[in-house]
Structure 1
Amino acid sequence: MQLTVRYFAGARAAAGRAEENAPAGRSLDELLDELTERHGDRLAVVLKAASFLVDGLACHDRQAPLPAGATVDVLPPFAGG
């Protein structure tokens, strides 16, 4: 059972890819730990400041299990006015 992680803007640059798959059933915090292990400190810095959408909705419970087939969007802070 998998889920899709999509990276935007600075998160995409830090991860070195636009998207990847990860196992489902873990919490967002556990997923972020795994992504940090995969991609290193550069992505870890972005993840600390990022917002996350799960299937298009803001993720408010970072301990809830992520369902199989879900899409997690990693949205770093955007500059602008």
Structure 2
Amino acid sequence: MSSSMPTLAVRYFAAARAAAGVAEETVPGGRSLDQLTGELVRRHGARLGTVLEMASFLVDGVAWHDRQAPLPAGATVDVLPPFAGG
């Protein structure tokens, strides 16, 4: 990957980390959240896809709800599955 290509850092927490098999990775940027999650499922499989369907996402610490909007180049995307409380 060229150093001039925009990238995203993806950090996984709890069940997302277990499903992805990694805590963090860097992926090519220039995509929406829907495109990013599709790429992550291709990389890591259907188990992660199930988690991603229920997950919340933070982009640079802010909740990200527009799954079609382009993610900012160089952003950090946190994947937060539902947490059990009690």
Q: Give the TM-score taking structure 1 as reference length.
A: 0.97
Code of the aligned partner of 1:12: R
* Number of residue pairs aligned between Structure 1 and Structure 2: 81
% same residue? 75
Superposition deviation, residue 60 in structure 1: 1.6
Q: Hey, what's the Cα distance between the residues in 2 that align with 1:61 and 1:49?
A: 15
Superposition deviation, residue 23 in structure 1: 1.1
Render the CA deviation track for 1:45-74: whole Å, top value 9, x for unaligned.
000000000000000211111111100000
Code of the aligned partner of 2:39: E
Q: What residue is the counterpart of 1:41 in the other structure?
A: 46
Q: What residue is the counterpart of 1:58 in the other structure?
A: 63
CA RMSD of aligned residues (A): 0.6
Unaligned runs of 5+ residues in structure 2 are 1-5
Q: Give the TM-score taking structure 2 as reference length.
A: 0.91
- SS at structure 1 position matched to 2:8: strand
Render the CA deviation track for 1:1-53: whole Å, top value 9, x for unaligned.
10100000000000000000111110000000000000001100000000000
Q: What stretches of structure 1 move > 4 A for 4+ residues in a row?
A: none
Unaligned runs of 5+ residues in structure 1 are none
Code of the aligned partner of 2:13: F
Q: Hey, what's the Cα distance between the residues in 1 that align with 2:46 and 2:65?
A: 24
Code of the aligned partner of 1:63: Q
